[in-house]
Chain A
Amino acid sequence: MTTDEPLIVLLVEDNLAHAEMVIRNFQDHQVPNKIYHVLDGEAALDFLYHRGRFSDPTTSPRPHVILLDLRLPKINGLQVLQEIKTDETLLSIPVIILTTSEAERDLTMAYQNHTNSYLVKPIDFAKFTQLINDLGLYWLSWNRQP
């Protein structure tokens, strides 16, 4: 990976305000990146499999990282995760669960379905900003991918 080629993030988030918070925090980040935002699980899978309105791979590129909310319309986050992690072609993409849910069951289920990370959205704005910064730094700078 080179620095002039932006890193691609797929953000799966049904809450538009939350999506904006993530995107705005990423924009301030020093690592060049491009965020693709979809609103539900079905759209996320369509994006990854280049189906329907995401059929063009140039406008729907393979992401380097997926930020996935759990509670989503249509197909929920856990199902999307399951789908990705059981697909040979997709399972190497790091999936980061970014959710409001602190439920034990969600955490367990996410790891059982091979999530790469599980993050709970902090209510405090400073912490939220910090989290997104650290996340970007770790997954987009430090972390190496094939």
Chain B
Amino acid sequence: MRTQFSFGWLYGVARLTMSAEITSPTNPGSWIGTGLFLLAAVLLGVLAYFLISRFINAMRKLEANVKEHEKLVSLQQAVFDAAADGILAVDHTGKITTFNRKFTEMWNIPETLITSREDAQIVAFVLQQLENPAEFLARIKALYAHPQDEGDDLIKLKDGRIFERYTQPQRLGDDIVGRVWVFRDVTAQKSTEEALARERNLLRAVVDTLPHIVFAKDSAGRKILANAGDQTAMGVKSEAEALGKTDFEIYPYEKAARFAAEDRAVLEEGVVFESESTYVDTSGQRHWLSGSKRPFRNEAGEIIGLVGVFHDITPLRQAEIEREALIADLEAKNAELERFTYTVSHDLKSPLITIRGFLGFLEQDALNGRIDQARHDIELISDAANKMQQLLDELLELSRIGRLRNPPQAVSLSELAREAAELVAGQLMARGVEVEIAPDMPTVVGDRPRLREVFENLLGNAAKFMGTQPHPRVEIGVRYDKDEPQPVIYVRDNGIGIEPQYHEKIFGLFEKLDATSEGTGIGLAIVKRIIEVHKGRIWVESEGHGRGSAFCFTLPQS
């Protein structure tokens, strides 16, 4: 405004001067003199007019330019003030040239300080708000040393705000005349970024802490996330090793192809894939996995990848398997106990009925004086009583197996079989049985006296059921079956044999195939029990009547 006013004043003076020239009174004199004067005056007037009008034109132009410039300056000032950033300009000596309103707002510079234009005070005011003023000063110093430098950095204020500071030299032509500083309050942006980073770190920590396999793949099936669990499953040492790779670059082809097929369903149809699967890891241990893969989408709802979470349920599954085995074992024991009770009640009752019955007959015999009949009846009573005692003894014996154990020791089965053969030599010789024992049978760890009982029983049975065989013979040895991991010990005879339908039944308690044969039928039940207590298995092989039998058993070697 001041400028415009001063031009207006100049213009006014010029106009007055001009009108004074034109209207000034002339000097009286000669006409020549007057004429010359007039001519000179006219010429001068013309010249003056010409000059003045040119001057006025120039002045008008200048005035217009100045107005234009004023407009521009005011626009610039408006923009300058309206800018979202705080701006400060200093000259090459460091003296403040200008700053905008935002700058004063951002730094809370009081009005009085602004009007005072005391640079030192303004700088001091700014510095006191900084968390690290020394750094700020150092930065400024460095920039003065290198006036051509541009740069941006972050500065922290004591009140928690964060400003982004940008600076560049102010140039006039090739000369650097000062420096412009731009400050932007990025507190909100920074706190959002920090919050995002925090959230990302938190999620990552969660993902890494989960005792699960967690991974994510992009739509092309490339890994974009693999937590510790997944790294173990893949057999890689770090996440970086797997990122960007497809399953085909990680797993064997067959496995990768299976995974890829599952992924396709998720990526293309958007379905959730749930599965329970099993695999063997690089150390050979079997794992069971349960989990799912589900798509993840962008904001537009398009599937851009998938997330998989799998849980190693191996301990759970192992516990389940263990539990099932225990239940099966318990059920078997229960069933065995039930059979046992049933058998015992039946078999112990039988002799009792006999005793009571024949006591009745005996009474009748006495009344009728039938001495021979009485003798027969007494014999039957005595037999029944003996049978009962035998049954009780044997039951006690059976119940001791597995309950009362001798300390386990290494036992050579060949040696043990020879010992057993000596102990039942009487029975064997009575039937003229020839026994052959292989010297190469394995050594096992177990209850020595019990294991000897096995051979004693089997040898005794072989002698007992030789039938009419003219050359009774028993072979004891070992063979190695293809589908049996343990060596198979056999006691093979050439006696009467056993029909296939009775191969199971003979091992039952008090089971006899021949009602008239000696014994209670507990021998094989005892043998079976001893073998089972040693975690082995026993069975009989016989093609039937007259074809001999082979009792086979396994004993885990340890």
Contacts and interface: CB of A to CB of B under 8 A. Distances in A.
B157 interface: no
Contact of A21 (B352, B357, B513, B515): B357
Nearest to B373: A24
Interface string A1-44: 00000000000001111101100100000000000000110000
A17 B354 contact: yes
Contacts of B499: 74
B512 interface: yes
A108 to B, nearest CB: 14
A116 interface: no
B425 interface: no
A17 B513 contact: no
A-side interface mostly: loop
Given A74-B502, A128-B360, A18 B352 contact: no
A101 B383 CA distance: 21
Interface residues of B, number: 27
A101 B339 CA distance: 12
A64 B106 CA distance: 122
Contacts of B350: 15, 18, 100
Nearest to B384: A17
A122 B353 CA distance: 7
Interface string B504-520: 01000001111110000
Given A40-B515, A73-B512, A73-B513, A18 B346 contact: no
A11 to B, nearest CB: 13
Interface residues of A, number: 27
B513 A129 contact: no
B342 interface: yes
A17 B342 contact: no
A123 B360 contact: no
A62 interface: no
Most chain-A CB neighbours within 10 Å: which of B345, B358, B511, B515?
Answer: B515
A123 B352 contact: yes
A24 B357 CA distance: 11
Interface string A36-58: 00011000000000000000000
Contact of B346 (A24, A73, A100): A100
B356 interface: yes
Interface of B: 342, 345-347, 349-350, 352-354, 356-361, 380, 383-384, 499, 502, 505, 511-516
Interface of A: 14-18, 20-21, 24, 39-40, 71-74, 99-103, 121-126, 128-129
9 contacts: A17-B383, A21-B354, A24-B361, A40-B513, A71-B346, A74-B513, A122-B353, A128-B353, A128-B360
